[in-house]
Structure 1
Amino acid sequence: FLDSSFDTARRIVERHFDMAVGDLDSVKLSDYKSTLLEYCQKRFKVLPDIVLAGEYGPEHDKVFVMEVVMAGRIIGRGEGRNKKMAAQMASRDALQTLEEDE
Structure 2
Amino acid sequence: MCENSLYEIAKKWDLGKYIRMSKGEELTGGRERVSILADCVEAIIAAIYIDAGFEKAKGFVLTNFKDTIEKAIKNKIILDYKTKLQEVMQKNGDVDIQYDLMKYEGPPHRRKFYTQVSVNNKVLGNGTGYSKKESEQSAAKKALKGLEKNNG
TM-score (norm 1): 0.77
What is the root-mean-square deviation of aligned Cα atoms in Å? 2.3
2:55 corresponds, among 1, 11, 19, to: 11
Once the two structures are superposed, residues 11-68 of structure 1 have per-residue CA deviations (whole angstroms, 9 ceiling, x without a partner) of 2222233453733323334211111111111145314211111111122211111101
Cα 1:60–1:18 shift into 2, 3 Å: closer
The CA deviation at 1:97 is: 1.1
Percent of residue pairs bearing the same amino acid type: 26
Amino acid across the alignment from 1:46 = V
1:86 aligned onto 2:131? no
The alpha-carbon deviation at position 98 of structure 1 amounts to 1.0
Q: Which moved more, 1:17-26 or 1:89-98?
A: 17-26
Question: Contact 1:77–1:89 at 8 Å: present in 2 too?
Answer: yes
Kindly indicate whether the alpha-carbon contact (under 8 Å) linking 1:37 and 1:47 is maintained by their aligned counterparts in 2.
Answer: no
Q: Which runs of 5+ in 1 are unaligned?
A: 1-5
Q: Which amino acid aligns with 2:69?
A: G
Q: Which amino acid aligns with 2:60?
A: H
TM-score w.r.t. the length of structure 2 is 0.54
User: How do 1:1-102 residues align onto structure 2 when only pairs under 5 Å count?
Assistant: 9-18=53-62, 20=65, 22-23=69-70, 24-26=72-74, 27-43=76-92, 45-102=94-151
Of Structure 1 and Structure 2, which has the larger fraction of its residues in helix?
2
Query: Residues 25 and 16 of structure 1: is their aligned pair in 2 closer, same or farther, counting only changes over 3 Å?
Result: farther
List structure 1 segments (4+ residues) > 6 angstroms apart after TM superposition.
Answer: none
Q: Which runs of 5+ in 2 are unaligned?
A: 1-49
Q: Which has the higher strand share?
A: 1
Whose relative contact order is higher, 1 or 2, with alpha carbons under 8 Å and at least 6 apart? 1
Aligned residues: 96
